[in-house]
């Protein structure tokens, strides 16, 4: 018991000492803790680096677009009437010149017959008048009266001919044919024997002329040239890439749905793929605007102060000036300042900077 009482007494004396000297003791403890904190070794943050090496560098423009057809036709009758013959349905293959449909021609044929009769009568009158005037032409007329008779005779004959041609033209317009070979993608009428108007439409698309169209912003169009490689990935075939080339660049800009100015760039799709791909399929395209082989490059994230990078040498970091070349969305070519094998810091903000000044104003 005496030992325990002695221990309790010592603890009480220690706390009494702390209470009586707390004005000096507390600041001393704070300073001691700070000194220990700054002097103890820290776990250094690992700074990621990338080894510089030579490889093929590509500069590209990423855009979205869709498949269209260079050859397509929307066909309508110029005259309204009763459809008496329908030669196609949606999905059919047609050839150039094939008949799509025919309107009722009975009235037209009667009008043509009537016009031909009038022509025959006028032709007879023309020949009789010419004989009565010595088979002369208007320029050979003997007087003004004869010339007027011959001129009017010629006019009447030409008028009869024109009447026949007009009726024949109406007959031709009652027959609708396809100007191209392709697939019927639209047919507004399904059966014959119904009346149709001039807005009834048949659409034909040529699968041999499929193209991939993209809109390139005016800020990037100067980089795009005919013949450049285009890599296309369609939403309908996400695991397949199509390798195309730029075939055509629009000369005139147009306003996009976002209100910007862009130029349409076209790439032909090989005819071997004509039945795999369909008009309207959308996808993403990468236009390769520049390519250089065996060059050094670094990530854009490693650049600091415009033209500097940090190099790791023996666990130390050296700030080095570089000269930049072409760049894409992620990397930039380095033409001077680095050699193959250099270790470039990917995030220069992680490199510890030298601190200046006194520690707590005391040292």
Tens-digit pLDDT profile for residues 152-176: 778 787 887 887 777 777 788 889 9
* CA atoms of 28 and 268, how far apart (whole Å): 81
Instruction: Please check whether the domain covering 61-71+206-291 is classified as CATH 2.40.30.170.
Output: yes
Tens-digit pLDDT profile for residues 236-291: 999 989 999 999 999 999 998 888 899 999 999 988 765 689 999 999 999 999 99
User: What are the structural domain ranges in the chain?
Assistant: 2-39, 49-57+293-361, 61-71+206-291, 73-203
Structure tokens that stand for 297 in this block: 């490059």
Query: Alpha carbon 87 to chain centroid distance?
Result: 37
Is 340:53 a contact under the CB 8 Å cutoff?
Answer: yes
CATH, domain 49-57+293-361, list 3.40.470.10, 2.40.50.140, 3.90.1150.10, 2.40.420.20: 2.40.420.20
Using alpha carbons, select from 242, 251, 245 the residue that is nearest to residue 227. Answer: 245
Dihedral sign (CA 274, 276, 282, 287): negative
Using alpha carbons, select from 31, 173, 207, 164 the residue that is nearest to residue 102. Answer: 173
- The owner of tokens 């009652």 is 174
pLDDT tens per residue across all 363 residues of the chain = 566 666 666 656 655 665 666 566 566 666 667 666 665 555 566 889 999 999 899 999 999 999 999 999 999 998 888 999 999 999 999 999 999 999 888 877 777 677 778 778 888 887 888 787 777 777 776 777 777 877 777 878 788 788 777 777 778 888 999 999 999 999 999 999 999 999 999 999 999 999 999 999 999 999 999 999 999 999 999 998 999 999 999 999 999 888 889 999 999 998 876 568 999 999 999 999 999 999 999 999 999 998 999 999 988 899 999 999 998 889 999 999 999 999 999 999 888 876 554 444 444
Q: Is the pTM here over 0.75, yes or no? A: no
* CA atoms of 168 and 283, how far apart (whole Å): 49
Q: Do domains 49-57+293-361 and 61-71+206-291 have the same CATH topology?
A: no
């Amino acid at each position: 018991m005496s030992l325990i009482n002695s221990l309790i007494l010592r603890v009480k004396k220690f706390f009494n000492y702390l209470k009586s000297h707390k004005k000096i003791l507390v600041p001393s403890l704070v300073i001691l803790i700070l000194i220990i904190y700054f002097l103890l070794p820290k776990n250094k943050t690992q700074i990621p680096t990338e080894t510089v090496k030579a490889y093929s560098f590509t500069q590209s423009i990423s855009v979205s677009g869709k498949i269209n057809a260079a050859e397509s036709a929307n066909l309508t009758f110029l005259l309204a009437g009763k459809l008496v013959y329908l030669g196609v349905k949606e999905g059919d293959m047609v050839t150039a010149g094939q008949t799509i449909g025919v309107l009722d021609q009975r009235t037209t044929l009667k009008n043509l017959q009537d016009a031909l009769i009038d022509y025959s009568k006028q032709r007879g009158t023309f020949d009789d008048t010419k004989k009565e005037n010595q088979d002369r032409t208007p320029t050979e007329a003997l007087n003004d009266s004869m010339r007027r008779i011959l001129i009017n005779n010629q006019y009447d004959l030409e008028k009869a001919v024109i009447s026949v041609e007009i009726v024949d033209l109406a007959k031709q317009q009652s027959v609708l044919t396809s100007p191209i070979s392709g697939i019927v993608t639209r047919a507004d009428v399904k059966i014959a024997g119904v009346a149709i108007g001039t807005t009834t439409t048949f659409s034909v698309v040529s699968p041999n002329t499929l193209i991939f169209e993209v809109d390139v912003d005016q800020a990037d169009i100067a980089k795009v040239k005919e013949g450049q490689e285009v890599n296309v990935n369609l939403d309908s075939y996400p695991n397949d890439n199509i390798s195309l080339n730029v075939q055509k660049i629009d000369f005139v800009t147009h306003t996009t749905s976002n209100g910007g100015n862009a130029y349409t760039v076209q790439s032909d799709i090989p005819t071997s793929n004509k039945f795999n791909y369909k008009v309207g399929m959308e996808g993403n395209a990468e236009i390769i605007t520049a390519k250089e082989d065996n060059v050094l490059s670094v990530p854009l994230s490693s650049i600091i102060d415009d033209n500097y990078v940090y190099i790791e040498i023996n666990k130390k970091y050296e700030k080095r000036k570089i000269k930049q070349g072409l760049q894409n969305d992620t990397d930039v070519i380095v033409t001077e300042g680095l050699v193959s094998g250099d270790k470039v810091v990917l995030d220069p903000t992680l490199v510890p900077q030298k601190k200046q000044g006194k520690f707590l104003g005391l040292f």
